[in-house]
Amino acid sequence: MNEQHHRRLRCLGHIINLISKAILLGENVSSFEEALQNAGDDKQFELWAKKGPLGRAHNFVVFVNRSGLRLELFRSLQEKQFNKYGNAVLFYNLVADGGVRWNATYLMIQRLNKLEDTVDLFVKRIRDQDESLPSNKRSGFGEKHEIRREDWKALRDIEILLLPLYQLTLHLEGYAQQGCGGTIAEVLPCLTLLYQHLRTKDREVNNPAFPDLLNPDTEHGYQIGVKLGLTKCKEYLDICRQIPTCCMAAVLDPRMKLAYFFEVWHTKLAEPEWNKELKATGTRFWEAFKTTQPSIPLPPEVADPIEENMLLAHILPKKKPRGDEYITYVQPDRLADKDVNLFEWWTEKQTTWPILSRLAFNLLSAPAMSAECERVFSSTKKMITPERNHLKADVIEAQECLKSWIKHGITDITAADCLLLNYKEGNRLFNEVSILN
pLDDT of res. 163: 94
- Return the pLDDT at 247: 92
Chain length of the chain: 437
SS3 of residue 183 by DSSP? strand
Kindly compute the dihedral angle of the four CA atoms of residues 340, 343, 346, 347, in this order, to the nearest 10 degrees: -120
Residue-level pLDDT at 298? 58
Checking phi first, is residue 138 left (phi over 0); if not, alpha (psi -120 to 50) or beta?
beta
Task: Extract the residue ranges of the chain whose pLDDT is less than 70.
Answer: 1-7, 83-90, 99-101, 208-220, 296-314, 316-322, 413-437
| Cα distance between residue 436 and residue 247, in whole Å | 61
Q: What is the pLDDT of residue 84?
A: 63
| pLDDT attached to residue 268 | 84
What integer pLDDT is reported at residue 348 of this predicted model?
A: 93
DSSP state of 348: H
Q: Which long-range contacts link 138-146 to residues 24+ away (Cβ below 8 Å)?
A: 139/67, 139/70, 141/63, 143/49, 144/45, 144/46, 144/48, 144/49, 144/55, 144/56, 144/59, 145/45, 145/56, 145/59, 145/60, 145/63, 146/56, 146/60
pTM value is: 0.80
Answer yes or no: are the C-beta atoms of 34 and 134 closer than 8 Å.
Answer: no
